[in-house]
Structure 1
């Protein structure tokens, strides 16, 4: 018997927004088909009822088989359902296909057939083609994945591509010609093709909405009939915290990039690369490589005191250093990466500093802001104020003012020789979360820079702003 394994189109219906699988399935008369349905790996989903039903004329869906042990009397002996909760997927196989098996089916989760489901169309014909299998790739929220794209039916030396499958086509996300979709800037990289024609797709800063069906290949984006289909599943029950991925510094300054990896794993190599237009040029690694244009101004990755972290320092910064960088670790054929965007400010620019600062409840936060190196700015008032609909209320300033409720837990220190000042906040509370400004002069009239402060219970990384 021929088993057709086609998972191609992500069905986007409100009721099934957290469940996905193929929209089309095809099989031969007398043959078999296997359908795979993907669901988020949560305790409830792992133990809930899974089902396979056929849509009837009255818009209902008649159960064929479910994990409660039920099997329709018309399908006994030729249908099976296997749940694999650790992978967040279940398989439905129908054998001995007949022409009247063609129709609309649903795979779903829930006590009734109207809860979470994905609808698909099954076609049964004598000339159905044998199609390739779907590969399941799992990643954690905020983490990264490495997706191998093996050699196959390529069209000459065409470019490699990665696209997301839709109802009738595949929307291009990235290719080796430098195209990158808007929502994937800085977080997708297609590696150069090997001699065999194989390549890899690296994706980081994973989001919940990245879960779905994809296709990789070379040459023309073929759509849902491609044999190289990938199901990407992002686990939302992640142990990885959302880390700040933006750093600011100035021309001639320096910045310290704190990179994170799994402390329980050993890695053959740690590195930093510069991401541009879908490629990532290696700058430095633990094997001794240093890019020629960065010699003398980049320090190789050094292990930090905190397990699972390493630090790369960039100094003597230039305007052209602004852009995306990737921290990376490699273990065999698998790579784990995370993105950081570096903002470079000209010396003559207004006040600048971090745009986002994170802190823990009961902990502390440090905000360092820079100002243009003029005599007036060195001697002018520096302040930290909280923004609201009516203005920006001063919290602390170098004139000696401290707002009520902040005594003994906030300070401001000016460093005129370094054209910078620093705000230190301790005993953080949830109420401290908000939008602030660090500035020079008079609130709302002088130079200022907006900073978002987020206080949470989740563990986050502290990044030094040079």
Structure 2
């Protein structure tokens, strides 16, 4: 009989289905005679007036959805039949908790939880069933979320289930639909917005976090261990979604190219005091923080990622550049106060082709004290945008002023044709780091690129105590590796040999000038290792003689007569060059010194 009453009440509640989009209660609660029931109802706080209006509990009358008699309310009223047996608490944060104790069979029936008054009210209808059975069927836990909001399914089971698979599935008309499990399987409709976290202290317990809620997410869920709907154990949840939200949202998918950048905006309620904001990369079982507002930056993302917070407008800007293929995937933007948090998702997609936006170098290595100019090239479409340079750090990217007259740190910005040039005068070691060039339009940050500047000491600088060569205490001579004896001989002989060769070359040149001058001729002369046509007249002019060349004079071979036997000239240029080669060959063989 009691079981029949239970099913009747459940069916009656489903038929009634009179509930508001802004206040929800469980459809059915069951209690035992002399026991108690707790009814938790949830309401939207988007209209702020909802926090302060009267809340009440009443028995439904003869008209559906209308009160017959009030049981209790936040104004302090309690019906005589419920004195000392009923309570109603409103935390003004969206939760109403009602408790009826010392239950009687006559307490069973249809109740209404509402706000304001019966004539002008937001209401939810539910059934209270009273049974004398020793066991009561598990009731579905009520979860209430807003569109774009989040909910947590807390699932706790006995230790015997620690090693079994954990899951969350949804009950649909055609059976069970698996949403996520601990093996990593995820329904495609929930990619990027759900994770399953196992409690490390107690492996039989876990939490499923679902974010970016949609209206179609509402329904009955089973959180369990083993296999959904067959073996193991489970807990039932009734998820309701309210369409009203105070969280404005934008596009969730951002596309960029290899080596490109993204700019994401995460909106939040500026009235809420979030103590920590961070950006993390989503995985099936966790979301790995990459950067936090407290200054933490994951090593691989130093110089690549920054958070720019605008608490007045409730906007967190996430700028990331130097993107590679491994950065593709889902990211979460999280705001939390330690108890409550707000999460939104962003998907980064890598598209094909080359980046056609901002361009510039990736790394610059410069000497201390130099004046450095770092160019940033931009396409014509950015001409009307605001361009800027900033210096990156763990907490922000501090903009560098474009006002040259107010230049206290030696930095200035000038703009040429399609380029923005950052000039750093007399660069110092403190200027080491990442510099970002970016564009901004209507207050929104857009594309960025990063250049790493590495400042080094000049090569001729005086050594510091750390790199100074050790000195022998007995002398002022630095301990260095002395050259070998052969190197000493070679180094001392080389200047002498070069001097001898130079003297021979000069004497040879004078000899040829005097000899050729007598013949009043023009010849092909070797000077060093280069051969060229040099006029004897030019050579005469060099020594101050006036002896113009005769145009019809026959050219004579200085190596001998045409008909006679060719004799090698003792003072020929070839002999001189060959002698110099032999000298060098004995001293220091070097291909550059051979002829």
Match of 2:208 among 201, 213, 218: 201
Displacement of 1:20 in angstroms is: 1.4
Match of 1:98 among 104, 107, 111: 104
Could you say what secondary structure the match of 1:34 adopts? strand
Change (3 A) 1:328 1:69: closer
> Is 2:326 the counterpart of 1:344?
no
Could you say what secondary structure the match of 1:96 adopts? coil
Question: How many angstroms apart in 1 are the aligned matches of 2:27 and 2:118?
Answer: 21
Change (3 A) 1:463 1:114: same
Matches within 5 A, 1:259-338: 264-267=273-276, 270-275=278-283, 278-280=284-286, 282=288, 284-285=290-291, 287=296, 289-290=298-299, 295=300, 299=303, 301-304=305-308, 306=310, 309=316, 311=318, 313-318=320-325, 321-328=327-334, 337-338=343-344
Question: How many angstroms apart in 2 are the aligned matches of 1:119 and 1:182?
Answer: 35
Q: 1:123 matched to which residue of 2?
A: 129
Q: 1:155 matched to which residue of 2?
A: 161
Change (3 A) 1:109 1:465: same
> Is 2:86 the counterpart of 1:80?
yes
C-alpha contact 1:284 1:300 (8 A) present in aligned 2: no
Displacement of 1:462 in angstroms is: 2.8
From the CA coordinates, give the structure whose radius of gyration is larger. 2
Displacement of 1:324 in angstroms is: 1.9
Change (3 A) 1:51 1:155: same
C-alpha contact 1:27 1:128 (8 A) present in aligned 2: no
Could you say what secondary structure the match of 1:86 adopts? coil
> Is 2:23 the counterpart of 1:19?
yes
Change (3 A) 1:28 1:462: same
Change (3 A) 1:26 1:187: same
Q: 2:58 matched to which residue of 1?
A: 52
Q: Which moved more, 1:136-145 or 1:156-165?
A: 136-145
Question: How many angstroms apart in 2 are the aligned matches of 1:264 and 1:18?
Answer: 24
C-alpha contact 1:249 1:465 (8 A) present in aligned 2: no
Higher helix share: 2
Could you say what secondary structure the match of 1:45 adopts? helix
Question: How many angstroms apart in 1 are the aligned matches of 2:350 and 2:445?
Answer: 16
Question: How many angstroms apart in 1 are the aligned matches of 2:103 and 2:289?
Answer: 56
Q: 1:187 matched to which residue of 2?
A: 193
**Matched positions, count:** 351
Structure scoring higher RCO (CA < 8 A, sep ≥ 6) equals 1
Q: Deviations over 1:354-404 (max 9, x none)?
A: xxxxxxxxxxxxxx89xxxxxxxxxxxxxxxxxxxxxxxxxxxxxxxxxxx
C-alpha contact 1:29 1:99 (8 A) present in aligned 2: yes
Change (3 A) 1:82 1:101: closer
Q: Which moved more, 1:127-136 or 1:27-36?
A: 127-136
Question: How many angstroms apart in 2 are the aligned matches of 1:289 and 1:201?
Answer: 25
Q: 1:255 matched to which residue of 2?
A: 262
Matches within 5 A, 1:104-143: 104-112=110-118, 116-129=122-135, 142=148
Consecutive unaligned residues in structure 2, runs of 5 or more: 1-9, 359-376, 387-441, 449-595
Matches within 5 A, 1:357-372: none
Match of 1:462 among 431, 437, 444: 444
Q: Deviations over 1:228-257 (max 9, x none)?
A: 75878879563x442443212124433345
C-alpha contact 1:28 1:125 (8 A) present in aligned 2: yes
Could you say what secondary structure the match of 2:39 adopts? strand
Change (3 A) 1:85 1:136: farther
C-alpha contact 1:164 1:173 (8 A) present in aligned 2: yes
Displacement of 1:65 in angstroms is: 0.9
Match of 1:39 among 39, 43, 51: 43
Higher strand share: 1
Question: How many angstroms apart in 2 are the aligned matches of 1:257 and 1:58?
Answer: 49
RMSD between superposed Cα atoms in Å: 5.1
Could you say what secondary structure the match of 1:189 adopts? strand
Question: How many angstroms apart in 1 are the aligned matches of 2:39 and 2:222?
Answer: 17
Scaled by the length of structure 2, the TM-score of the pair is 0.46
Change (3 A) 1:235 1:69: farther
Could you say what secondary structure the match of 2:92 adopts? helix
Could you say what secondary structure the match of 1:464 adopts? strand
